Amino acid sequence: MGWKEAAEPVLTRMPAVRRPEGHVPFKRKLAWTAGILVLYFFLTNIALLGLQGGEATDIFGEFRSVLAGEMGSLMQVGIGPIVTASIVMQLLGGANLLGLDTDDPRDQILYQGLQKVLVIVMTALTALPMVFAGGFLPAQPSLTLGGLEFGETQVQMLMFAQIFVGGILILYMDEVVSKWGIGSGIGLFIIASVSQQLVTGFVSPSSEGFFYSWYEIITGQVETGSIVSSDGLYTIFLGEGQIIALLTTLLIFSVVVYAESVRVEIPLSHSRVKGARGRFPVKLIYASVLPMILVRALQANIQFMGQILDSVWAGMPTWLGDYSGGEPASGFFYYTAPIYSPEDWMWWTGAVTQDAWMVLIRISVDLSFMVIGGAIFAIFWVETTNMGPDATARQIQNSGMQIPGFRQNVGVIEKVMERYIPQVTVLGGALVGLLAVWANMLGTVGGVEGTGLLLAVSITYKLYEEIAEEQMMEMHPMMRQMFGRE
């Protein structure tokens, strides 16, 4: 008996959100999406019961905008376990170690069930060290709740249960949006997290807020010195003035929107309806920027492991990492840490204590990791989401369309698609990785991680396109039958 037969009774009984039996009206989809978004914001504002305030360490730090969580809340782990489980499933599926055919309905159920089991396991494995190791989420020594006295160990168990429940909630909230709403829950949560950081970065009434910082500069509360001096230029452009961060933020918006509109359009015509024509667009960012979540999550897990080792292994070898103030200062974990801001690599300003050659190695590793990793995960994403040449050719064939001038044959259509899709997938994945590193190096308003900003802009653009498509199909019901949405 194979593993599929042995695991089928468990995997097929995993709790799941029921799919709608028929067409879900656009307004209802919008209501479900808005409801889940409100619930997400509500859960991010519920603090962990038993957490000792003021002493917690955010183990994910700069990855928060990508992982869409909130430190010290029920959404502590964010979408991290979901993304980590997706990485494992994509690697196993890409190496064909699972033996699952995603075109087979039975294997689809097994695949989804196995992914849910992995998410549950990853949620537990992420929450355990946060609560029980290293003091990242220190528990109160004692807690009185409903007349019951809890000791420190019991408080830790209570905190673990809250984080675990939050991780499971976000899994099923994502499923609700995917089946009953618009877009995906993961994308929605990333937009919410990044938007919150951006708004805070612009309007916060503190020195971190863009408008307030300029108010302080104009009123002389911030000493800039001579504008033409190096100190003055640094203050205006990279310091409190945040001019470079503003320009980078605006440029990322512009570049992503432009890249989303760059495409190769393959002409199509209907084989049975004369005059019915269409186009199949192969966008420059064909795989979208979602594979970047997988790349950054992989980096986040590496840094997560480094933090855990530093906290529990007193004699950790220096070649692995030497930590200072909770951040790696040398070794493997330093070189594999992403560039978060200009202060991480501008050694000539004195903000970096490492030598120039160490900083250059770190930049090279981060750039290589993002560009090569972006291309590889983009390929995996295209193949596992039925966007590859073979799956696309079957979809075009099943819709009754064909490429003018070519025989109506799946193999012929697939060969045409192979001229564009693989090359564009690799190019788009590498381009997005390059943009993410560049955005981090120059900084953004609100300190949003470059990948997070890219994701938010791209997901918002696609959400806009999906809303427009839903509205069009609502106005023309026959189109739902044509595209198989009925």
Residues, the chain: 486
pLDDT on residue 1: 56
Asked if residue 486 lies in contact with residue 103, where contact means CB atoms within 8 angstroms, the answer is: no
pLDDT on residue 483: 47
pLDDT on residue 221: 78
pLDDT on residue 272: 65
pLDDT on residue 332: 93
Name every residue whose Cβ is closer than 8 Å to that of residue 117 and which is 6 or more positions away in sequence.
Answer: 10, 11, 14
Asked if residue 43 lies in contact with residue 77, where contact means CB atoms within 8 angstroms, the answer is: no
Residue 338: half-sphere exposure toward Cβ, Cα within 13 Å = 31
Name every residue whose Cβ is closer than 8 Å to that of residue 44 and which is 6 or more positions away in sequence.
Answer: 69, 70, 73, 74, 75
Extract the residue ranges of the chain whose pLDDT is less than 50.
Answer: 482-484
Tokens of 358: 């160490």
Q: Compute the distance between CA of residue 455 and CA of residue 457 in angstroms, rounded to an integer.
A: 6
Q: Compute the distance between CA of residue 98 and CA of residue 170 in angstroms, rounded to an integer.
A: 26
Sheet holding 277-283: strands in order across?
277-283, 263-270, 401-402
Tokens of 367: 């750039």
**Segment holding 365, helix H or strand E:** helix 356-384
Dihedral sign for Cα atoms in the order 292, 298, 304, 310: negative
Neighbours of 197 (CB within 10 A): 21
CB-count burial class (<10 Å; 0-12, 13-18, 19+) for 193:
buried
* Among 200, 137, 122, CA closest to 167: 122
Q: Compute the distance between CA of residue 456 and CA of residue 355 in angstroms, rounded to an integer.
A: 34
User: What domains does the chain contain, in order, with CATH numbers?
Assistant: 1-15+26-181 (1.10.3370.10)
CB-count burial class (<10 Å; 0-12, 13-18, 19+) for 279:
exposed
Residue 12, SS3?
A: coil
DSSP 47: B
Q: Compute the distance between CA of residue 377 and CA of residue 308 in angstroms, rounded to an integer.
A: 26
Q: Compute the distance between CA of residue 416 and CA of residue 233 in angstroms, rounded to an integer.
A: 53
Q: Compute the distance between CA of residue 391 and CA of residue 383 in angstroms, rounded to an integer.
A: 8
Q: Compute the distance between CA of residue 389 and CA of residue 382 in angstroms, rounded to an integer.
A: 9
Tokens of 227: 């504008």
pLDDT on residue 485: 52
* Among 63, 379, 45, 356, CA closest to 194: 63
Entry pTM: 0.83
